[in-house]
Structures are given as C-alpha cells and as structure tokens.
Structure 1
C-alpha cells in the first residue's frame, strides 16, 4: 500500500465571504485563484493557492445555518496550522502585528513552537514550527 497522502486542500465556511477574502488576502499576501459558484449552486467559494501545492478555500452556502461562531471545543475542527521554521517565528509575529491581528506570544513545547491567532469568524489558526 502507498503512503497515506498529504492534505490537498482545506475549505472553511465563513459568515462574510468578502470580508474573509480580504482578511486572508492580506494574511497570505495573495489574491484568490478561483472565485466562483460551485456547479451544484449550493455554495460559492474563493480559493487561494499556497506554497507546496496546498489550496485554501473560503465557502459561503446558499442555505443559512443557525447563527453561531466557531468554537474549537465543539466536535469538528480544532485549528488549522501553517508550517514554518523556528527562524520564521519572529517574522510572523511582526507580520501579524503589522496586519493588526491579535495573537498569542510564541509558545514553545516539546513537539514544536507556535503562534496562535484567529480569523474574522473566530476560527483558530496557528503558525507552527516543528522542533529542529
């Protein structure tokens, strides 16, 4: 059997597609490569192409859910981590500060170091540096 494949893309549902697209465009320093209604007509998505071939999609659905924000303590997604090196930690702290994004300090653990922050829908994000 072949090795288990890596993750090809992540798609998250957002409450305000335009606002989230603008926020992530600043974070990624890039514009979406795709902005379209999905062919079934049940959602619209904007997709960013990140380094390493990863796609990151923002979705808005035609049917409205119950109003609530993301909470990683519920069953489902806990957080999304973007891989960086330990040498890049301080640079990402400065970049988040430049963007006005609230963040944690750099936290070090046996399994790696990270900076936690949240998107406009309170989705937990992290820059994560595995141990050297």
Structure 2
C-alpha cells in the first residue's frame, strides 16, 4: 500500500488576526473555515490551496508558548509549497516584493530551486520547483 500524500498542514500562530490577514494576502484567498475545534482545545482558520491541500492557522486558547519559531528546535523545519518552474519562482519573487515580504531570492541546487521567506511568527516557508 502506498503512503498517502499530505492533505493539510497546520501551524500555531501567536496572533490569529494578524496571521490570517498575512496568509490571505499571500494566498490571494479568504479562509474557508474559521471556528473553534469541537472539543474547545483550539481555534483554527483554514485556507484551501490548489491540489486539494489545506493550510491551517491554529491558536490554543492562550496556551501557546509565545516563543518565536525556530527551525533548529525539534519539530517543524519549514513548509514547502510546490511550483512548476524557475519562471514561476521569479513571478513569486515579484509577488513577495509587492507584498513587502522579505525573502532570500531564488536559490538553485542540483535537486531544484527554492525561494525562502518567513511569516509574521518567523515560521520558515519555501516555494520550490524541482530540477
């Protein structure tokens, strides 16, 4: 049996309103869901992305640590989004510039090309085109 692909990613944010505005601008879309989880342990705001994947923003009713994201701590290193080509990355580079989002420019390696940037909580994000 093949292992299934990713269906969604959810990240914990420190300020849901700020992050929702930021991701809505980045995705050029509004959330499809914004509600408290059934058990009341967290609130989630969810965006639908191309390909059927979901991207969620979570708050945990004030129980968040308040620590800034750090990819060197055990856990998430970064979230990568697939794009088709280096040309697509160049278009995204311009879009990030338009949005005022700092980034590291398009970087190339033998396995592909990436464009890295961070969200308001310093969560590492990458747009990636395979080689």
TM-score range, shorter chain: over 0.9
Structure 1's unaligned 5+ residue stretches are none
SS, match of residue 106 in structure 1: strand
**Secondary structure in 2 matching 1:20:** helix
Please report the TM-score for the alignment, with normalisation by the length of structure 2. Answer: 0.96
Residue matched to 1:16: 15
CA contact (8 A) 2:102 2:118 kept: yes
TM-score, normalising length: structure 1: 0.96
Q: What's 1:100 paired with? A: 100
Write the distance in 2 (CA, Å) between the matches of 1:66 and 1:45. Answer: 17
Superposition RMSD in Å: 0.8
Question: Which residue matches 2:24?
Answer: 25
Q: How does 1:62-81 map to 2 (within 5 A)?
A: 62-81=61-80
User: Could you tell me how far 1:87 is from its partner in structure 2?
Assistant: 2.2
* Structure 2: unaligned runs, 5 residues or longer: none
Number of aligned positions between the proteins = 130
SS at match of 2:98: helix
| 1:123 equivalent in structure 2 | 123
Cα displacement (A) at 1:63: 4.2
